[in-house]
Amino acid sequence: MALYSEKVMDHFRNPRNVGTIEDADGIGEVGNAKCGDIMKMYLKIEDDIIKDVKFETFGCGSAIASSSMATELIKGKPVAEAMQLTNKAVAEALDGLPDYKMHCSVLAEEAIQAALEDYYAKNPDKKPAE
């Protein structure tokens, strides 16, 4: 059996939504000190919809694939839906990750959460009531 699924390899070789958004509404950066991976997510939000999302990732193939898939899963979606994205959903969308690479999908979830927290910090009036 192959170590990585075809989807992981595709998103690693051909990552979607790579880059930055100059006037991003929310930016989140997270890292894993143990493996050295760093992810940065940029969000452009209009009318409570994620109109654009870009990422920069310094890390292994699983980290790049997780970042790419996570952006695909939230692009064009309502902010409330993006807030619910889990690392398990990212891993499942990639047709699985090896157990020792699951932390990469966790980083993707955390980077999106950090970008959304930044957005709400800049726009407290848009934050939903808890």
Active site (catalytic) residues? 35, 104
Query: Interhelix angle for 102-122 vs 61-74, to 10°?
Result: 50
Give the span between the Cα atoms of 71 and 100, in whole angstroms.
22
Give the span between the Cα atoms of 37 and 34, in whole angstroms.
8
